[in-house]
């Protein structure tokens, strides 16, 4: 009988494998190319994407070792996007550590990032399998979409008329497709057949949308202790989140003009701005509207998962991880 | 009987195809992602790498259309490296046009460059063939090597003790492997067999090394009219070229100290510096030593080409292109 791994077991396996790989890279030449890669992989993170890949693979096979290089590939790709996004967004800290362009320099973050993009293909190609051509094609398509998502996100910074549907399209590209790609890759590597692989892809899209909306929600309405970041960061930086877009869309003329005043204001006390905007959000029931939307996508994802033609017992770890993702207390 | 295309015919075919592709991309969304890609592809260039790919393919097959997407892929990849290298090197002009990070901005050059890297995989994957898995593997390995070469090149900027062998290793990675990869890809796509594909790879390495050394030579000893760039640019920027490395290696104590003085000097008249360093180069016969080395690699490449198990008539276009590359008057 097939062994079903728990989320924790898979996370341990992934962490061990990523540590081995990044130690291998650390001493490769030129050191100035490989040392930032090692640094970036060692900073850690939830390793969500490789976990999804292996959980999906494990629905059909327990030969986890065959999917492990691809799981590493997806994590290396994800970290490549962080290196470049952090330059573009001028982010100086990630997971409480200096970002790569701060710890090293911008050229290092560009070039080591590039090398990581190609390393991810190298890892994907490590184990030959029947589904490999489809995996490479899906991965390349996804990578282009992630770039498109980042571009839309940057474009939105300069706009105040972003619609809800534009926003959902952006987070689909920037966040959801890579989760979906991880899940579909697991299925393809296990030769699960294209139909079920596509269902897992749809599951990933829905869980990804719910996950990103919740990230938006927690940034304004989270519990500082469990959220990990300072509450109100998105508000202070005028980030076009679902909350702000929905508020701009549903506000009265007076509320909208107050929102726009705060967005344009350059001198203010941080707490005042956060409090004023949260106050408008509360008048407009933004928290509840966002929670409805999260629940909608989460329920859609659950229903796809339950309808997969696999033993219901085997779905438990994947269901557990997606619950963990969406049930952070706040 | 198989049609053998001339270099000019293939270049026309490539230019047409690249124009079609970049027009297609131009109107894709988000515009801010795709417009810089279109700009970069339209600036032009010699299209050397796709020409090598098609010439190699045509040694074994005249179904050029099957290799065309891969030829575009290699050119898109090459242009991706230019976008990112130009940021890292702070280069403001390329082919007499503003570079992408100047024409748009740095974020555009980073992100559109990333998208081009993945687009090149998309094009490679467009036509399914037996040799495709090997092509993707070779391409990914080559892409990592090109990043390594760029890193070594940047590392060398801060060093005065770069050896000849380190320099040759750097230009192998930064320039030669992509020419070699183009040639080998052509052979693999035409199912020419791995041995002959590897011979074409070696041909590419040697022609690539000769080509880069000649570029170094022309920058100091070229004829301004035929070279296209201003003579002495490398000298003024203290670039660690083969010429400078060889001069530092073979100079007397007095000559070496004069070289180092000029390298460290911050205030000088450009013509004086160029004249003084050319004078030392002349004392040390650097032009002749470099020319010997170019001839060595060019002859090695010619001998590999002549020993290929293909009809000698069919080799003519490839031999002609490599002669054109290495016989620029100066």
Are the beta carbons of A133 and B125 separated by less than 8 Å? yes
* Closest chain A CA to residue B149: A30
* Predicted local distance difference test score (pLDDT) of residue A228: 63
Average pLDDT over residues B18-43: 96
Are the beta carbons of B147 and A114 separated by less than 8 Å? yes
Question: What are the tokens at B69?
Answer: 């997407």
Is A137 buried (19+), middle (13-18) or exposed (0-12) by CB count in 10 A? middle
> Measured between CB atoms, which of B32, B121, B141 is closest to A122?
B141
Are the beta carbons of B147 and A84 separated by less than 8 Å? no
- pLDDT-derived band at B250, boundaries 50, 70, 90: very high
**Chain A nearest C-alpha distance from B260 (Å):** 26
Average pLDDT over residues A102-127: 98
Q: Is the pLDDT of residue A327 over 90?
A: no
Average pLDDT over residues B186-197: 97
**Chain B nearest C-alpha distance from A88 (Å):** 6
Q: Which has more pLDDT, B49 or A230?
A: B49
Are the beta carbons of B114 and A117 separated by less than 8 Å? yes
Are the beta carbons of B114 and A87 separated by less than 8 Å? no
Report the share of chain B in percent with pLDDT over 70. Answer: 97
Q: Is the pLDDT of residue B100 over 60?
A: yes
pLDDT averaged over every residue in chain B: 95
* Closest chain A CA to residue B139: A118
Which domains occur in chain A, in start order?
1-129 (1.10.600.10), 141-179+202-302 (1.10.600.10)
> Measured between CB atoms, which of A118, A141, A148 is closest to B140?
A118
Decide: A219 and A229 in contact? Cβ < 8 Å. Answer: yes
Q: What is the pLDDT of residues B72-95, one digit of tens each?
A: 999 999 999 999 999 999 999 998
HSE toward the beta carbon, residue B191, CA cutoff 13 A: 7
Q: What is the 3-state secondary structure (H, E, C) of chain A?
A: CCCCCCHHHHHHHHHHHHHHHHHHHHCCCCHHHHHHHHHHHHCCCCCHHHHHHHHHHHCCCCCHHHCHHHHHHHHHHHHHHHHHHHHHCCCCEECCEECHHHHCCHHHHHHHHHHHHHHHHHHHCCCCCCCHHHHHHHHHHHHHHHHHHHHHHHHHHCCCCCCHHHHHHHHHHHHHHHHHHHHHHHHHHCCCCHHHHHHHHHHHHHHHHHHHHHHHHHHHHCCHHHHCCCCCHHHHCCCCCHHHHHHHHHCCHHHHHHHHHHHHCCCCCHHHHHHHHHHHHHHCCHHHHHHHHHHHHHHHHHHHHHCCCCCHHHHHHHHHHHHHHHCCCC
Instruction: Sort out which chain A residues have CB atoms less than 8 A from B126's CB and list them.
Output: none
Q: Is the pLDDT of residue B222 over 90?
A: no
> Measured between CB atoms, which of A29, A119, A151 is closest to B144?
A119
**Chain B nearest C-alpha distance from A221 (Å):** 31
Interface test with B, best of A118, A170, A172 (most B CBs within 10 A): A118
* Closest chain A CA to residue B156: A30
> Measured between CB atoms, which of B33, B141, B152 is closest to A148?
B33
Q: Is the pLDDT of residue A328 over 70?
A: no
* Predicted local distance difference test score (pLDDT) of residue A223: 79
Instruction: Sort out which chain A residues have CB atoms less than 8 A from B107's CB and list them.
Output: 87-88, 154
Q: What is the pLDDT of residues A122-146, one digit of tens each?
A: 999 999 988 899 999 999 999 999 9
Interface test with A, best of B24, B29, B33, B141 (most A CBs within 10 A): B33
ipTM of the assembly?
0.96
Helical (H) or strand (E) element with B116: helix B106-124
């Amino acid at each position: 009988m097939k062994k079903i791994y728990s989320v924790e077991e898979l996370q341990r396996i992934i962490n061990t494998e990523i540590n081995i790989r990044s130690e291998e890279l650390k001493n490769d030449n030129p050191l100035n190319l490989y040392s930032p890669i090692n640094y970036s992989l060692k900073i850690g993170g939830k390793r969500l994407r490789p976990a999804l890949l292996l959980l999906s693979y494990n629905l059909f096979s327990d030969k986890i070792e065959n999917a492990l290089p691809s799981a590493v590939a997806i994590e290396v790709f994800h970290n490549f996007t962080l290196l470049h996004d952090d330059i573009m967004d001028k982010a100086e800290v990630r997971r409480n550590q200096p970002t790569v362009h701060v710890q090293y320099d911008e050229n290092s973050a560009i070039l080591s990032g590039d090398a990581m993009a190609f390393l991810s293909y190298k890892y994907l190609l490590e184990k030959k399998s029947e589904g490999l051509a489809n995996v490479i094609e899906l991965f390349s398509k996804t990578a282009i979409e992630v770039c498109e998502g980042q571009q839309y996100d940057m474009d939105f910074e300069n706009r105040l008329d972003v619609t809800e549907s534009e926003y959902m399209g952006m987070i689909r590209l920037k966040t959801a497709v890579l989760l979906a790609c991880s899940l579909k890759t697991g299925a393809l590597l296990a030769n699960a057949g294209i139909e079920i692989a596509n269902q897992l892809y749809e599951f990933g899209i829905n869980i990804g949308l719910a996950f990103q909306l919740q990230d938006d929600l927690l940034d304004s309405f989270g519990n500082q202790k469990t959220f990990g970041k300072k509450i109100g960061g998105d508000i202070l930086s005028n980030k076009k989140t679902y909350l702000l877009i929905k508020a701009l869309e549903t506000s009265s003329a007076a509320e909208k003009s107050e929102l726009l005043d705060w967005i344009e204001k350059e001198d203010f006390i941080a707490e005042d701005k956060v409090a004023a905007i949260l106050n408008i959000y509360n008048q407009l029931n933004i928290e509840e509207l966002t929670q409805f939307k999260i629940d909608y996508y989460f329920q859609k994802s659950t229903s796809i998962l339950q309808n997969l033609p696999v033993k219901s017992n085997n779905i438990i770890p994947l269901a557990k991880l997606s619950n963990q993702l969406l049930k952070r207390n706040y």
